[in-house]
Amino acid sequence: MDSILKSHGLATSAIRRAKRREKGLLLDGEAIYTSYPVKAGQVVAILCDDRAPSNIVPNEGPVDILYEDEDLLVVDKPAGLAVHPCAGSWEDSLGARLVHYYHQTGLEADFHPVHRLDKGTSGLMAVAKHPSAQHVLTAALHSGRFHREYLAVCKGIPSPAAGVIDAPLGRSDDSYIRQEVRPDGKPARTHYEALETGERFSLLRLVLETGRTHQIRVHMAYVGHPLAGDFLYGTEEPELISRPALHSHRLELTQPFTGEKLAFGSPLPGDMAKLVDQ
């Protein structure tokens, strides 16, 4: 029984909680233990009530929800909104807004982001409603079952116009925030392609093989083409754009329990579109 449940992506914590409940685990309608042997043709059922009240303080604010089912949401995050409560964003964050949304709609759900976007990055994010869904979706990251594409505006014209940046990343010795390319860092690979080029900027499409902190921003700066507006790895230029010019443009994933294929797109936001026009 235990192997069957785990093979369907259920987290160990969810299985443990089900074991403690009356009729939490059933085989053909009869309560059993996780050690019970199962046979082909039998029906396994588990009570997945692993939704717990969030410790995030809710805060009312707009959330652009593109998709929602009982397990997950896909949202289009605006630039300038932190994903989690943090210094400078203790009251307002995507998590706080979604917890408020859950309370308003009567949902017993919690905030479990499958992947994260920097505060300044806009675009598509998948957010699980409970730990089991997060467990399955996180395991699918960087596989054929979970595909992300980004659009970015960088300084100059990359040469070659398309390629792969393969450079390990780790935290800088003199900063808790800044990342850098370093030989003892974790493997990081970024695929890029220049879609449009001009005298000052290029519009790039990027796909990540890995998901390191600030990966796109560090890799583009490493090859000499930092993102426009990137105060940390390039030059802060508020007259051009008030944040790093990076947008989560396309998201494809598989619903963790039904197997349905889901695909979403988000157009280039206005501040980045102005740079492209220039």
What's the CA gap between 264 and 124, in Å, rounded? 8
What amino acid is encoded at 23 in this protein? Answer: K
Q: How far is CA 54 from the centre of its chain?
A: 19
- Residue linked to tokens 């785990």: 6
Residue with tokens 């199962």: 38
Which is the catalytic residue, given 71, 118, 166, 184?
118
**Of 211, 217, 215, 212, residue with least CA distance to 231:** 217
| Environment class of 120 (CB within 10 Å of its CB; exposed 0-12, middle 13-18, buried 19+) | buried
Whether residue 76 lies in the annotated active site:
no
Give the tokens for residue 223: 């090859």
Could you give the residue numbers annotated as active site? 118
